[in-house]
A and B are shown apart, each in its own frame.
Chain A
Amino acid sequence: QQQVKQSPQSLIVQKGGISIINCAYENTAFDYFPWYQQFPGKGPALLIAIRPDVSEKKEGRFTISFNKSAKQFSLHIMDSQPGDSATYFCAASKKSGSRLTFGEGTQLTVNP
C-alpha cells in the first residue's frame, strides 16, 4: 500500500521559533509533494509544493526540503507565529494521476 509517514504527531513551538515537520514516502513513482494546512472546521488548503527535480523550495516563511535518495521531505516554518497554529499534512501523488496520499497530520501549536 502506498504510504506517506509523517512526524511528529504534535508540535509545540514558541513564537519566533522554527517549526519542522518531516515526512517519508515509499513509492518512487510519486512526483509531486504538497503540504496542506488545515484549520479547525475548514478544509485543507495548499501551503507549498515541490517536485523531486529540486532539493528546496522557499515561499516566504515556509520552506520545503526534499531528499530524493532518502525518500524524505520536510516543512520548515521560520519565525513561527500563533496564527500558524493548525494541522499540517504532507501528501504525495504520482505524475500519471492526481490521487493525493496524505500523511497522518501534525498538530502545530505556536505559543505567544
Chain B
Amino acid sequence: EAGVAQSPRYKIIEKRQSVAFWCNPISGHATLYWYQQILGQGPKLLIQFQNNGVVDDSQLPKDRFSAERLKGVDSTLKIQPAKLEDSAVYLCASSLSLAGADTQYFGPGTRLTVL
C-alpha cells in the first residue's frame, strides 16, 4: 500500500514570497491533516479535512495560510506571504475516518526554510 506522498521535499524562499505544498493521501482515506513541526517541537495541527470539507482550522493563521482539498483527495497548503517564523517541516497525514482512534499516517514532510 502506498503511503502519504508530499512534494516538494525541500523548499527555500525569501520572506514575503509565496509557497505551496502538495499532498496525496493514502487511497480511500477520508480525513486529511496538515501539521506544522518546528525544529525541536511536536507537530501542531494546522487544518483538518473530512473529504473536501474543513473540520478544524482553528490553529491556521488565516491571514497568510490557506488550504484546499479539491474532490476530496489531493490537498494543497499555501503560505502567502511567508515570514521567517514559518520555517518548519510541514507534514501531511491521512486517516480512514474521523474517529479519534483511527491511525494517522504521516508523509515525509516538506522542509521549508524562509530566509
CB within 8 Å of B: which residues of A?
Answer: 4, 6, 31-32, 34, 36, 41-46, 49, 51, 89, 91, 93-105
Contact = CB atoms under 8 A, between A and B. Distances in A.
B109 interface: yes
Interface residues of B, number: 27
27 contacts: A4-B42, A6-B42, A31-B101, A36-B106, A42-B108, A44-B91, A45-B106, A46-B103, A49-B103, A51-B101, A89-B42, A91-B42, A96-B100, A97-B100, A98-B31, A98-B33, A98-B102, A99-B45, A100-B45, A100-B104, A101-B45, A102-B42, A102-B44, A104-B40, A104-B41, A104-B42, A105-B41
Contacts of A95: 100-101
Contacts of B99: 98
Contacts, number: 69
Given A31-B100, A43-B93, A98-B104, A105 B45 contact: no
Contacts of A51: 101
B95 interface: yes
**Chain B at the A interface: SS class:** loop
A98 B103 contact: no
Contacts of B33: 98-99
A99 B91 contact: no
Given A97-B56, A100-B45, A103-B42, 12 more contacts: A4-B42, A34-B103, A36-B106, A42-B108, A44-B43, A97-B98, A97-B100, A98-B33, A98-B100, A99-B56, A102-B44, A104-B40
Contacts of B55: 97
A93 B42 contact: no
B48 interface: yes
Contacts of A94: 100
B4 interface: yes
